[in-house]
Amino acid sequence: MPLAFDSSQSPQAAQVRLAELRTLLQAWLRLLWNQAPPLQTAADASAGASPLPAAPQILPSGLLLPAQLGAGQLWHKLQHERHGLHGLDTLARQDQDHHPTTDTVLVDLTRWYLAASAHAAAHLVHSRHRYDTAGVPPITQVLLGVLEDARIEQLAARELPGLQRLWCHWHAQAAARAPADDASLEALLRRLAHALADPAVEDPHPWVRKGQALFRQRMQEHHDFTQDPVALRRLASELGNELGQMRRALNPRSYRPLPLYRDDNHWLWYQSGAEKTIAQPPAPPPPRHQPGPSPNATDAPDATQTRHPEWDARIRQLRRNWCSVHTFAAAEGQPWRAPPPLLVQALTGILRNQRPHWLTLARRHDLHHEGDALQLDAAVQAGVQRRSGHDGDWRIFERQHGIASTAALVLLDHSASTATRLVSDGDGDGDGGTILDMHRQLASSLLAGMQQAGWRSAAHGFCSDGRHAVRMGCLKDFDDAVDARLQRRLGSLQSGYSTRLGAVLRHAGSLLGQRPESQRLLIVLGDAEVHDIDVHAPHYLEHDTRQALRELRQAGVRVACLCAASDATAALDRLWGMHQWRRVQHPEQLPQALRGLLGA
């Protein structure tokens, strides 16, 4: 959106107001991470907040940013604090006459707000741990803030490399305007922050170099400190002890993180006895096109987050850690009706008495040098390797183990499109309920039949609200029985949000990959519609879904779809494959559809 800057101001008097940038910044954060925390000034904040914060703050009610920012104002504050950063980008980027223009000043002040809001939002996305202040020296608290700032910025820059350029610019300006021989404690902390933010920086100070090397090493050893956040605190303590040996003193009251776009990190700490979970700003309301709410995974006390890649067909690469899948126990509501006994009996017979053709597809670790039957694909591959001059893997025989053990995972789509009603056509092809109602009925019947047939089964409902909010609510785990709790969880599902199916398939594949059963089956109760609010490229998610399906089949997981919607057959064939889906718009059609999918 165009910004109405007042270019009549002199460069020294130029300033921008948060009120003028609020819409821009909210769109910016939505674009980056689908985050929409309220942006507040001191007048909006609760009592106790400083009238004009020296640094941005993360509050339970939102992000607190300066109400206005002027080049001269910030210049004065920086000079007074003597923390090494002496001016904004505009004060360094001058024309040939060494006089910045008013427009340049205004644009760079806006970029400061972009950097500050993006950094704070990166904490909301990637920071999931708080630390107890008890027994922690102030220098360790400060260093932990520097390390956590660097950690979340690195994670953010992996997804969005342009953010690193935005943030590193302010580090470079701080370094350019600081005395070269400044080795005060504040200067060393600023130099460490710069070295951690920019891998190309080679600081001459031994302590900074050591901190840079240890941080890089332990980020790899501890998997970005996501599973072992205490390791980050240990590193801060180690670096703090060395500063103490150098007799560097810290004034906690006057210190503030640098560069100045970074927040004050007060939210990172709690006092003993306080709640340890990070207070998140309130989530935005669902878009108006969504007919109802969906379980908010980030609010569930048992929610866990897993990152998965996503296939970008435009660059023909997987984007690493691109999607966040939140898994949690589904809520319980009014119980869904139990499946008809005759239908369950029919499904049980199909699952128990028939050996589907796909069960003969053995995984490599199930093959042997001797056995009861030749595995043709493995034999052909070994022959090709031998003719190519390689030894080849001659484990080409299968051994009979009786009836194969099977683990099955059922996925229920309950996105906004499942609110569509299935209108009966007079021939019994529809029952007048919604697509979600049909998904509930199919899942209830399938799970009951699998239990009676001796299969291990699980079920999850899924929807999405952007790539960092893919939600999978557990309706039934592999060790759970088909009981009244399952029916209550099925009854709690509501249609809403979108369908980012590729991330859901990858997470389901990881769950099945942990199972000891020899055969694995994934059944999706869904359709051919894949979409999400942050994806605008045509067919982007369709390409990713097909790539996820290829990955699953290569891993030995059979995937099938039962579609209750009236999607075009061509679209379903294109996404799932001609023989990997069946349309089911009435429960009585389920046995025939299942028999066709399993090849019985």
Show Cβ contacts of residue 216 under 8 Å, excluding neighbours closer than 6 positions: 199
pLDDT at 221 over 90: no
pLDDT at 348 over 90: yes
Tokens for 13? 């008097």
Q: What secondary structure letter does DSSP report for 449?
A: H
Q: Where in the chain is the domain with CATH 3.40.50.410?
A: 318-355+404-598
- Tell me what the mean pLDDT of segment 216-235 comes to: 86
Inter-residue contact 170 to 115 (CB < 8 Å): yes
Residue 533, φ and ψ in degrees, nearest 5? -70, -25
- Tell me what the mean pLDDT of segment 377-400 comes to: 74
Average pLDDT across the chain, whole number: 81
pLDDT band at 363 (very low <50, low <70, confident <90, very high): very low
Instruction: State how far the Cα of 273 lies from the Cα of 270, in Å rounded to an integer.
Output: 8
pLDDT at 253 over 50: yes
pLDDT recorded at residue 135:
85
pLDDT > 70: what percent of the chain? 79
- Tell me what the mean pLDDT of segment 473-478 comes to: 96
pLDDT recorded at residue 396:
75
More confident call, 76 vs 37: 37
Inter-residue contact 473 to 461 (CB < 8 Å): yes
Q: What residues form DSSP beta bridges with 307? A: 324
pTM: 0.53
CATH superfamily of 318-355+404-598: von Willebrand factor, type A domain (3.40.50.410)
Instruction: State how far the Cα of 560 lies from the Cα of 525, in Å rounded to an integer.
Output: 9
Tokens for 582? 């069946």
- Tell me what the mean pLDDT of segment 191-200 comes to: 94
pLDDT band at 13 (very low <50, low <70, confident <90, very high): low
pLDDT at 49 over 50: no
Where b means 16+ CB within 10 Å and e means fewer, 575-595 reads bbeeebbbbbbbbebbbebbb
Q: Where are the beta strands (DSSP E) in 220-336?
A: 269-270, 304-312, 317-329
